[in-house]
Homo-oligomer: A and B are copies of this chain.
């Protein structure tokens, strides 16, 4: 790789001058500028980003902690949102997976910090609030996505889970359903789970319906879990005309289970999911769901991070997002 020295030699100028044209950090005589540009092209020169980072104390990288890129399209979409805006700012994104594990999340954050990322965007599920707010107090700007860290509310981009489920549930209520089963996560510690449960309870309460515990199925929040939870629900024999799901994945599993047992969807049971994963429209029948605007949220988090690291004011950036209903074919009016 050619260095700045090679360029300066070939262009017959000092390295400072080369540096100036690289960074347009000061005026340079047009003729010299031309010579430098020519030499750069000739030598196929690319400034060494490590040397730049070392001296300028800027890596031009924003580090991102995700759960698991393979767990579904969720994090991939989030990354797309982030990358789009980071890219536009001519910076890089560097990702690490925490796999929802405390030790690994901590390790990943350390690694990101050691790489001197200029800012961090964290989707941490496993780390305690204290640790996170301590991090937020450090010198590197940190923004949290999908989590409300006490004391760092102005750095948290989040979705109103409760309102989202309420929307979904209301849609079912509006269609005349009263016996609505809820298939949800079995992780009691999981804040999203609590909030969504609250949304379900809230919507029902508003409609004057009491929650029937027998209509709540819990399992791991993936397709298989949805299948398992639905199997258990069916075994209880308590009738229901609609199913609300913690997420589309669980709902896909639940639908599989229902279909296998000969239920007609939506004729016999209506179903609504949460997330609007890309496959939602290819599930049979096309899934009515509530859209998790994760890509937009990722973008917003990135904008916030960029503002913070530029010491620009971050006012005017909306941090709270809402899930909107996407009506497709898995819900029908009660007879």
CB distance from A331 to the nearest CB of B (A): 17
**What are 26 A-B contacts with C-beta separation under 8 Å?**
A46-B113, A48-B54, A48-B116, A49-B114, A49-B116, A50-B50, A50-B54, A69-B76, A70-B73, A70-B76, A70-B77, A72-B73, A72-B278, A73-B73, A76-B76, A92-B111, A92-B115, A94-B94, A223-B278, A252-B279, A253-B282, A255-B282, A255-B284, A259-B284, A283-B283, A283-B284
A83 contacts chain B at the CB level, 8 A cutoff = yes
CB distance from A262 to the nearest CB of B (A): 12
CB distance from A56 to the nearest CB of B (A): 10
Bound-state Cα–Cα, A223 to B79, Å: 22
**In the complex, chain B residues whose CB is within 8 Å of the CB of A335:** none
Question: Assuming A116-B49, A253-B282, is B80 touching A69 (CB within 8 A)?
Answer: yes
**In the complex, chain B residues whose CB is within 8 Å of the CB of A8:** none
Closest residue of B by beta carbon distance from A329: B260
Q: Determine whether the beta carbon of A70 is less than 8 Å from that of B59.
A: no
Max chain B C-beta neighbours (<10 A), residue from A53, A70, A72, A256: A70
Bound-state Cα–Cα, A252 to B59, Å: 43
**In the complex, chain B residues whose CB is within 8 Å of the CB of A92:** 94, 111, 115
**In the complex, chain B residues whose CB is within 8 Å of the CB of A51:** 50, 54
**In the complex, chain B residues whose CB is within 8 Å of the CB of A223:** 278-279, 281-282
Query: Chain A contact residues: over half helix, strand or loop, or mixed?
Result: helix
**In the complex, chain B residues whose CB is within 8 Å of the CB of A12:** none
CB distance from A84 to the nearest CB of B (A): 10
Q: Per a CB cutoff under 8 Å, which of B48, B70, B77, B282 touches A252?
A: B282
CB distance from A70 to the nearest CB of B (A): 5
A198 contacts chain B at the CB level, 8 A cutoff = no
**In the complex, chain B residues whose CB is within 8 Å of the CB of A59:** 50
CB distance from A176 to the nearest CB of B (A): 25
